[in-house]
Chains A and B, each alone.
Chain A
């Protein structure tokens, strides 16, 4: 199926006739619209896309995408997607998961899928709460968060999705925000281009159970102070023009440096963002930047090349055929010691 024969697609071609049933104001609407907007630009026929999800609000996603789709079981979407991609590397396989689905019940599968570098796009919607089960705290919820299951406040330490992905050896890691259409679309495009597991944390609002969790990042004004935009080759600088600051990283420990008017960040020892460090140490340092002490980095943390699991597996099959010839069942059954009994 060459791209040349692909009819021109529009976002509408990726919409289904099913009513979208997220709560009014849910961040998922924006993500869905932006995914549908990006799909036609990717140069693939619609039938080559597969969306796979687990269980949770975000996992209803495939029902609203007019592609092939699979709404599976809680936490296991990466494993289903691995089976699809490993058997059919030519398909473009996207996993949609959430902070509960992906990092709690499905943590093991997320870890191993990333570790294997299966050529998938994994979109983790992080709203820091369980929505579908009505408001329990999640593995990314802040300490002290009061929910129905934690009336005295959550006492477990949250996990950061970016640090988790980096720890698993992710080759592409990015963070974006549900309502920032252009940035979200750019991250989706980058993820698609990446060969290997592309992991995107999408900060997503749950208006019912954890409203405004990310408001300072979603709001155009406050994000100037709250967000650190990552751009390859550019210094880690943020803030209003008269209050510019930068991040210096020494021995893996980040600190904030104030910049005077017109001051060159490089001269002040501000780190230059580089997506392609072989070591993940730099990206880890970035991942440790958390609110409220630091701005939250938004963009691509890391993008490195490593062979993908599905490509290597396919290669093993092809080289086995080249070396041994196509499998011969009769030869197999008659291999080793045999004996013949006459009439």
Chain B
């Protein structure tokens, strides 16, 4: 290579274009290559709900941001350093996020009168004109270069143009010294003939263009991140969830039953799990959300490890059946991959708005344990824990993921399976003294007695049941007692939860409390504040019902408590009610994750007020 290289520590790139431009694919392939290059990374795919919005419009803009570094990365970065824009609409929708002085790479062939108008620019505007003062603008005729590279191949112009995202990808591979081989291997597994040849050629042409063009005087090297030794892979939250489901079946030595109805952003979990029939997994695409959970509860009664996956609107529909699972005390895992609402809302955008729904969305007193993973990889372990709690306590368990965790990727240390251990499930088989609602002295769980077991024939259902016998009962005191027992059963889970872990000092001026997918932004904000000498600590709650046993004590050890969450303050309300402390809520409901700076600014504000 003739050109010099420069070593940098971190960079954030955003690819953006039409939803038909292959932006998500480009981002995914760049991510895979970056993972193989040994950098830590975090991604943020951001796409419209429409499959093909009108081409060239703002509504159709799809984006994919990746932040990678030689050190720890916890967020996709507040502001990209580089923006790769495939058309004027993408430029217009994204340019204000770019870091001042950052680089804009555009496909100049896409900047014509028609596409400028479609993006909402005036016909005589040159949008690049005003940008040249603020950013480094690199104009590349990507479409023409792409056509040139494949002109002798017998593929149509339209199909040929479709590979232009790989030209840009090849260029970015060169610019950041990423390996190109994994993408070529992937292309070889997907395409053949001239289409394969075209894509490979274009990818390499983009790479070669970087080497030869005078537009880029140097390329960049980001050293490998110093992370825990071991074997890594790239993983998204939804893949981790799906694999966690499969792993739970292996760990508990029982078959999995997944009932689901297609809904964004949860469908990918169904798709992924459906591939694993050879693990004895049965997936059932139901006629609706209600049937999906109902079939899962049926499978649980029959002795399977049952799970149903959905998102907000589907979660609402499942609540009546979930109440039955509470009443019948059957193990079940319900995964709600939260998305922006209310109602249909913004289906592909991010929110944490379903916490109160998970906790209180059913009629009457209907306690359900609630867990929330905090990183994409953590989705794997959260699923395993959810199944373990469900079976041990004979209760439905809710897992609250969100569309940020679902779609974003990170390097993941592949777990050593021996460390997961085996947790075999035992059904009741002894008819001697069997009572369907007799309770385990420690966990208060009732026995799991499955059809096919002689002598244990019994009936369960939604009507109030007599303690122990499980017969239908309208006795008022019995009803109160059974409600109290179910509350107590869920509360007892707290005894086996690890104490909440504090990042930073055990006491101080401010504690930042978070849950779910906001972990990276909160951790980064708190870390920067601590580096500046502020007495700030953080905790991140994985268990939202019951809370970890020492939570009250920890909250009381700080002068102030700040709770950033992507809703109107739901966990803040719960902590205020439960612990009678003045929690400050930092709320954001824009369908986008927190920027680190937004949290940091609020930390500074609270501490300034105190000083």
Contacts and interface: CB of A to CB of B under 8 A. Distances in A.
B425 to A, nearest CB: 14
B451 A88 contact: yes
A84 B282 CA distance: 12
Contacts of A109: 287, 290-291, 294
A317 B277 contact: yes
A242 interface: no
A320 B277 contact: yes
A87 B257 contact: yes
B282 A68 contact: no
B302 A337 contact: no
A69 interface: yes
B112 interface: no
Task: Sort chain B's interface into a size bin.
Answer: 35 or more
Interface string B11-41: 0000000000000000000001001101000
A333 B242 CA distance: 11
A32 to B, nearest CB: 14
Contact of B246 (A313, A325, A332): A332
Nearest to A66: B457
A87 B287 contact: no
A336 B189 CA distance: 12
A83 B296 contact: yes
A321 interface: yes
Interface string B439-478: 0000000000001111111111111000000011000000
A329 interface: yes
Contact of A327 (B278, B286, B417, B455): B278
A126 interface: no
A327 B246 contact: yes
Contacts of B32: 337
A162 to B, nearest CB: 21
Contacts of A313: 282, 284
Nearest to B294: A79
A79 B290 contact: yes
A87 B295 CA distance: 9
Most chain A CB within a 10 A radius of its CB, from B32, B182, B451: B451
A2 interface: no
Nearest to A335: B233
Contacts of B284: 82-83, 86, 313
A108 B277 CA distance: 27
B542 interface: no
A1 B452 contact: yes
A83 B232 contact: no
B38 A323 contact: no
A48 interface: yes
Nearest to B456: A47
A172 interface: no
Contact of B459 (A62, A316, A317, A321): A62
Nearest to B472: A63
Contact of A71 (B287, B300, B461): B461
Contacts of A66: 457
A90 B414 contact: no
Nearest to B306: A83
Contacts of B230: 340-341
Contacts of A71: 459-463
Interface string A46-75: 111110100100000011011111111100
Contacts of B232: 338-341
Contact of B451 (A91, A323, A325, A341): A91
A59 to B, nearest CB: 9
Contacts of B231: 334, 338-341
A157 interface: no
Contacts of B301: 68, 70, 80, 83-84
B227 interface: yes
B451 A82 contact: no
B243 A332 contact: yes
Contacts of B415: 333
B526 interface: no
A263 interface: no
Contacts of B227: 341
Given A18-B472, A83-B295, A108 B257 contact: no
A224 B288 CA distance: 44
Given A327-B280, A341-B229, A76 B291 contact: yes
A86 B328 CA distance: 20
A79 B318 CA distance: 13
12 contacts: A62-B459, A82-B284, A87-B302, A87-B303, A91-B451, A91-B452, A327-B279, A330-B417, A333-B415, A340-B231, A341-B231, A342-B229
Given A62-B459, A88-B302, 19 more contacts: A69-B457, A69-B460, A70-B298, A71-B459, A71-B462, A73-B324, A76-B291, A79-B291, A80-B298, A83-B259, A83-B295, A83-B300, A86-B257, A87-B257, A109-B294, A327-B278, A334-B233, A338-B414, A341-B38
